């Protein structure tokens, strides 16, 4: 297979983990006889600094030319700490999703047996937890009409039937590939937008008789994720709720540095780790590259290259079992490995 990949390293630790992800992809492609080429482009604060735009037109065009985007992270304290800033790195991420039509974020939540003690939850609660959070990505309050003055502000949580139907279709299709259980998360007891979500979900459920569909208010879902994360198989929800719940789900594994994600839709798909740019760690060679590496596995799997993805997942598991880990998940007294060292160890496993 021929693959053209747009690489958007972004900010903070992004360039460090991006380098590891690219090396993993090169190694796997060489092993399986695939041709891969990379085009690098700016995004986030790095793009603002050079062009004034967090998602420049040149970056958009590079994404359009690519088969997939390998993205890392955006964010910078100089914008986070300035409430008057009118241009922000995160706007680049929103623009990328909107322009590429990436309406579905697929975020797996899973645990690793050797890291159960790192979870803030008891091991007996999280062992075996394995579910997907599917978040609608281009609608709702993040993209609805907004207003702010000194005394009043609002954000409009607008959703249309086509937007809801297409994300529910994605969720049902994923549920069919897994344990055939879909949980629709909303706030239908309060919000009109949520009542439309639930209405449409109830209309669609009979089309998928092989999938058990249940419904849960978002506050109950947040509680259930902590009390009994193994209850969930696939959950689907709107943009704002999904943003919150997916971050909550990420801590179940014990580290945000372990989990990848995919954003898919009508345009070029994007694969990225779920963590942020962690600017305080930039250049220190301590960032965990595993989420970026597992994002490469998801990229291969998206194109039906399941053996390639499985090879990467086995190498990641092997690194964890061998305690080749960055500091935040290393065992007490274990050897010190940095971002580059973990990446090199995994690359050797792939050969």
- Domains belonging to the chain, first-starting first, are 1-102+266-351 (3.40.718.10), 103-264 (3.40.718.10)
Tell me the mean pLDDT in the region 70-83: 88
Catalytic residue among 49, 130, 247, 317: 247
DSSP string for 35-62:
EEEEEE---THHHHHHHS-SS-HHHHHH
pLDDT at 10: 96
- Give helix 14-32 / helix 306-321 axis angle, nearest 10°: 120
What is the gyration radius of the CA atoms in the chain, in angstroms?
20
Catalytic residue among 79, 172, 187, 208: 187
Catalytic residue among 60, 79, 142, 172: 142
Establish whether 149 is a catalytic residue: no
SS3 content of the chain, % helix, strand, coil (to 5): 50, 20, 30
pLDDT at 51 over 80: yes
Half-sphere exposure of 8 (CA within 13 A, CB side): 33
Catalytic residue among 82, 214, 219, 228: 219
Catalytic residue among 49, 67, 80, 243: 243
Coil, strand or helix: which one is 88?
coil
Establish whether 210 is a catalytic residue: no
pLDDT at 134: 97
pLDDT at 174: 97
pLDDT at 117: 85
Tell me the mean pLDDT in the region 101-116: 92
pLDDT at 139: 94
Establish whether 219 is a catalytic residue: yes
Given a contact cutoff of 8 angstroms between Cβ atoms, the answer to whether 339 and 285 are in contact is yes
DSSP string for 100-160:
TT--EEEEEEE--GGGGGGSSS-HHHHTT-EEEEEEE-SSGGGTS-EEE-SS-EEE-----
Q: Between the CA of residue 105 and those of 110, 132, 150, 346, what are the distances in Å?
A: 16, 10, 34, 27
pLDDT at 5 over 80: yes
DSSP string for 265-278:
SSS--EEEESS---
pLDDT tens for each residue of 218-248: 999 999 999 999 999 999 999 999 999 998 9
Tell me the mean pLDDT in the region 153-159: 96
Confidence category of residue 91, pLDDT binned at 50, 70, 90:
very high
Tell me the mean pLDDT in the region 286-298: 97
Establish whether 11 is a catalytic residue: no
pLDDT at 289: 97
pLDDT at 129 over 90: yes
Confidence category of residue 255, pLDDT binned at 50, 70, 90:
confident
Distance CA 148, CA 59 (A): 30
Establish whether 98 is a catalytic residue: no
């Amino acid at each position: 297979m021929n693959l053209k990949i747009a690489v958007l390293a972004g900010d903070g630790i992004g360039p460090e983990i991006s380098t590891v992800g690219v090396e993993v992809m090169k190694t796997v492609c060489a092993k399986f006889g695939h041709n891969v080429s990379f085009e690098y482009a700016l995004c986030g604060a790095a793009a603002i600094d050079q062009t004034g735009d967090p998602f420049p037109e040149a970056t958009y065009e590079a994404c359009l030319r690519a088969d997939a985007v390998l993205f890392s992270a955006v964010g910078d304290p100089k914008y986070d700490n300035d409430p008057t800033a009118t241009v922000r790195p995160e706007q680049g991420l929103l623009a990328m999703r909107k322009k590429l039509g990436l309406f579905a974020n697929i975020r797996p939540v899973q645990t690793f047996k050797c890291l159960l003690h790192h979870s803030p939850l008891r091991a007996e609660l999280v062992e075996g937890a394995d579910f997907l959070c599917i978040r609608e990505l281009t609608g709702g309050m993040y993209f609805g009409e907004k207003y702010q003055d000194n005394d009043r502000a609002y954000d409009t949580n607008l959703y249309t039937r086509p937007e809801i139907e297409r994300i529910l279709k994605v969720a049902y299709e994923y549920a069919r590939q897994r344990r055939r259980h879909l949980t629709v998360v909303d706030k239908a007891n309060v919000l009109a937008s949520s009542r439309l979500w639930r209405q449409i979900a109830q209309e669609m459920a009979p089309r998928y008789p092989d999938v058990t569909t249940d419904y849960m208010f978002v506050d109950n879902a947040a509680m259930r994720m902590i009390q009994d994360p193994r209850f969930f198989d696939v959950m689907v929800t709107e943009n704002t709720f999904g943003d919150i719940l997916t971050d909550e789900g990420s801590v179940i594994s014990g580290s945000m540095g372990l989990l990848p994600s995919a954003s898919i839709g009508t345009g070029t798909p994007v694969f990225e780790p779920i963590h942020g740019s962690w600017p305080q760690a930039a250049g220190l060679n301590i960032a965990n590259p595993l989420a970026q590496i597992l994002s490469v596995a998801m990229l291969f799997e998206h194109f039906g290259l399941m053996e390639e993805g499985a090879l990467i997942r086995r190498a990641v598991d092997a690194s964890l079992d061998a305690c080749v880990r960055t500091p935040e998940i290393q065992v007490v007294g274990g050897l010190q490995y940095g971002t580059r060292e973990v990446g090199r160890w995994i690359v050797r496993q792939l050969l």
